[in-house]
Structure 1
Amino acid sequence: MNTTRIIVIAKEPIPGFAKTRLIPALGEDATAALADRLLQHALSQALAADLGPVELCVAPHRDATYWKKHLQNGNVTLTQQAEGDLGVRMMLAAEQGLQHGCPVMLIGTDCPGLNARRLRALAEALSRHDACLGPVSDGGYALLGLHQAHPLLFTDMPWSTPDVARLTRERLQQLGWRWAECETLWDVDEPDDLIRLKADYPELAEYPELAGEPS
């Protein structure tokens, strides 16, 4: 399989900073703990896919002590997210990653179903297409794979709305690009998602605050 660079777009799981929509259900500390577990899971799956370099593109500060533990085995590189909205941050991450001479797949940290097997399948599809997409049930996407970065895919996009995946498909069509998709997955964004997380991925929901359904 051709080399593919996986870029994990990640926030440091600081209480009050990461996964803020879950705070009403869990509180700041438990939400940060869950964000940490989801990040660890996403990174482990990216490494297990064994597709090529794995990059953590992080916010708010690349030099935070938290990130140092991920660099100990030498299999992960660390870069700083740019300033700006999600589109700006993703586009610059893609542009920088593509400079290494291989396609990139941008992923988040909140879709536990985006496992190593799916990452490998999407990378294989990307080798035969201009792009690939990992849609999620809330209308967004958890993965975008590219051979080149085009501003149309990142500019004036209503991020965190149900229109993101649809508009991304429309813009891929406008570019005349061929793309592949995996089945629709789901991510952990809202309190109701915690119920499904506990049922499908109990190893990620082992905190006391998740012992029952969220209130």
Structure 2
Amino acid sequence: MPLVKIGGNGCKKGLKYMNKELVIVFVKNIKLGKVKTRLAKTIGNQAAFEVYSELVKITEQATTKLKADKRIYFSDAIIETKWNGFEKHVQEGKNLGIRMKNAFSKGFKDGYNRIVLIGSDLPDINETHINNGLNALKEYNTVFGPSVDGGYYLIGLSKLYHNVFDNKPWSQPNLLEETLQELSAKAITFSILETLNDIDTFEDLITSNFYKSNIELQEKIKQLND
């Protein structure tokens, strides 16, 4: 791993080892009426709040033991009492593409050469998916974890490719397809991970093993909608 000098005058004192790998997590500040809004149209704001809270817990579990350095990017404001062990930031940019590009850009400027970014609404995400993404970047320029809806739950880069983030159909079912077509045209290599489903709609929720196995969550939603 490279040595990064944090002291001056060429002195070895103040040198530290820097992990070359970085995992970034994008998370929404958990506020009533601000999370899982599509799902909330069916089950209500409070129930959607409960679902997202559980999904964030799963994301924390999936990232806690990772050896890579970790950064959490909150949507609105840093919560100091959450995500221990993560360097904390706030997302910056007018759309998802710009916010992700800014986060990657900072990571590369800080000396990382394999960076993976994930969201926080994935019921089946685990440590293996994330490590697979990091490992893929040892051979490929980019890596994507496809989601069932046509987007992706994970993106990884070995350097900053601006075209991945510019002028893309965010939240549309052709997002990943269009992104991969452009990468192919520019001879930028990519690897594809296992497809996972995120939770955006009521159908997503009730068909997921995450929901079927969480009796406590089922009871909360039932009570809130009685």
Same fold (TM over 0.5): yes
Give the secondary-structure state (helix, strand or coil) at the position aligned to 1:117: helix
Structure 1 residue ranges, 4+ long, deviating more than 3 angstroms after superposition: 198-201, 209-212
Letter in 1 for 2:100: M
Task: Give the Cα–Cα distance (whole angstroms) in 2 for the partners of residues 53 and 204 of structure 1.
Answer: 34
1:210 offset after TM fit, Å?
4.1
TM-score by length of 1: 0.87
Q: Computing the radius of gyration over CA atoms, which structure comes out larger, 1 or 2?
A: 2
Q: Which runs of 5 or more structure 2 residues have no equivalent in the other structure? A: 2-18
Match of 1:10 in 2: 27
> 1 or 2, which has the higher helix percentage?
1
The AA in structure 2 aligned to 1:33 is: E
Counterparts of 1:79-158 in structure 2 under 5 Å?
79-102=89-112, 103-158=114-169
2:71 to 35, 52, 55: 55
Tell me by how many angstroms 1:196 deviates: 2.1
User: How far off is 1:186 after superposition?
Assistant: 0.9
Query: Contact between 2:97 and 2:166, CA under 8 Å: does it hold in 1?
Result: yes
**Which residue in the other structure is 1:180 paired with?**
191
**Count of paired positions:** 206
Contact 1:194–1:210 (Cα < 8 Å) also in 2: no
CA RMSD of aligned residues (A): 2.3
Rounded to whole Å, the distance in 2 between the matches of 1:52 and 1:100 is: 14
Match of 1:69 in 2: 81
**Structure 1 stretch 166-175 or stretch 195-204: which is displaced more?**
195-204
User: Equivalent residue of 1:44, what SS?
Assistant: helix
C-alpha distance in structure 2 between counterparts of 1:199 and 1:40, whole Å: 12
Give per-residue Cα distances to partners, 1:144-174, cap 9 Å, x unaligned.
0001122211111111110111011112213
In 1, Cα distance between equivalents of 2:71 and 2:215: 22
What is the Cα deviation at residue 3 of structure 1?
4.1
TM-score (structure 2 length as normaliser): 0.83
**Are 2:58 and 2:125, in contact at CA under 8 Å, matched by a contact in 1?**
no
1:204–1:181 Cα change, 3 Å: farther
From 25, 41, 45, the counterpart of 2:58: 41
**How many angstroms does 1:98 deviate by?**
1.8
**C-alpha deviation, 1:207, in angstroms:** 4.5
**Which runs of 5 or more structure 1 residues have no equivalent in the other structure?**
none
Q: Which structure exhibits the higher relative contact order, with contacts defined as CA atoms closer than 8 Å and separated by 6 or more residues?
A: 1
Q: Determine what percentage of the aligned residue pairs are the same residue.
A: 26
Distance verdict in 2 for CA 1:127–1:46, change over 3 Å: same
1:168 aligns with 2:179: yes
User: Matches of 2:110 and 2:53 in 1, distance apart?
Assistant: 28
